[in-house]
Amino acid sequence: MNFRPETLESPTRARIRLRVAEAQGPARGVIQIHHGLAEHSGRYQRFALFLSERGFHVAVQDQRGHGETTAPDAQRGVFAARDGWSRVVADARAVEDHLRERFSGLPLILYGHSMGGVTAMTHAMARKGAVDGMAIWNSNLAMGSRAGLIRTVLALESLFKKPTDPSTWMEALTFKGWGKRIKNARTEFDWLSRLPEEVDAYIADPLAGWPASISMWRDLVEGTLRGEDEEALRLMPADLPIHLAAGGQDPVVDNGAAVKTLAARLHAARFTDVTMRFDPQGRHETLHDTGFDQAMADFAAWAERVCGRAG
């Protein structure tokens, strides 16, 4: 099957599980995908195969503490014993370097969903925007003052738990809290999608939906604040094409408000090529929600434009 699992050694000592779908026919470009919190690369097979049929090489890695990626200091639910977010970005850079060598000369686009959007943003910032495009879907990069509250919650929980223990309090505030915001929900994960079969597949997946550790939440807060850094944002080229997507019924992004705030920040920073895809009824996982086929087609059309310009 054209979505083969591979293993890549990172300078951080992580053994990264990487799944690659190579382009069918002449290649237009490379799409590097960063998945969300408590999921894994295998969930992007449909998207990867769709894009490969349209001439893109697609690679999805299991991030540290997720899926089948292993590291001496990264059990499931933990990025690292220390410097967790820096290691996440270093692994992303290692995959990018591998893809640039393997598919030399082709434009490269970063795509990130939810937490993966934070990875994509901080990955691009570490490269000072030296990529050909960036897509940030369903991602909250408007944490602002809530960062302090979350850090306080995690500090209090740390008084009687180890950093590697699951954060019960953050689980209640996020995954379980988001579930309560969906009216007439069938399951506690209906915030993900309006499609029952997609929600059921997520619930049945042993590599998805687990509670993140205290340290992982701490690292994610740090990564989000890095992604909100205005100075780092302005170091990237203003003509970098950026594609945003949000759902109006997605509690993770405050029903779309967080993504609209990000769009406003990008415009204020004088980015000139920002595309917004907004579904008023959409929930959190655009790629697994009602209308996913059109969402994939919209992304492919944007990526074709970006790669055509870069080429």
For residue 57, the domain's CATH number is: 3.40.50.1820
Q: % helix / strand / coil in the chain, to the nearest 5?
A: 40, 15, 40
The domain of 191 spans: 4-310
Indicate yes or no: pTM above 0.95: yes
- Per-residue confidence band for 244, with pLDDT thresholds at 50, 70 and 90: very high
- Per-residue confidence band for 310, with pLDDT thresholds at 50, 70 and 90: confident
What are 81-124's pLDDT values in tens digits?
999 999 999 999 999 999 999 999 999 999 999 999 999 999 99
Res 38: pLDDT:
98
Looking at residues 265-288, what average pLDDT do you find? 97
**pLDDT surpasses 70 at 204:** yes
Evaluate whether 103 touches 30 at the Cβ level (below 8 Å).
yes
- Per-residue confidence band for 311, with pLDDT thresholds at 50, 70 and 90: low
Alpha-carbon separation of residue 278 from 16, 39, 116 (angstroms): 33, 23, 18
Higher pLDDT pick, 145 / 273: 273
Domain count within the chain: 1
Which pair of structure tokens corresponds to residue 209?
């939906």
What are 40-54's pLDDT values in tens digits?
999 999 999 999 999
Look-up: residue for tokens 């026919």?
25
133-137 and 108-113 strand pairing: parallel
- CA pseudo-torsion sign 276, 269, 117, 240: positive
Q: How far apart are CA 296 and CA 308, in angstroms?
A: 18
**pLDDT surpasses 90 at 233:** yes
- Residues of the chain with pLDDT > 90, as a percent, come to 95
**pLDDT surpasses 90 at 4:** no
Looking at residues 170-188, what average pLDDT do you find? 96
Res 1: pLDDT:
57
Q: How far apart are CA 99 and CA 8, in angstroms?
A: 11
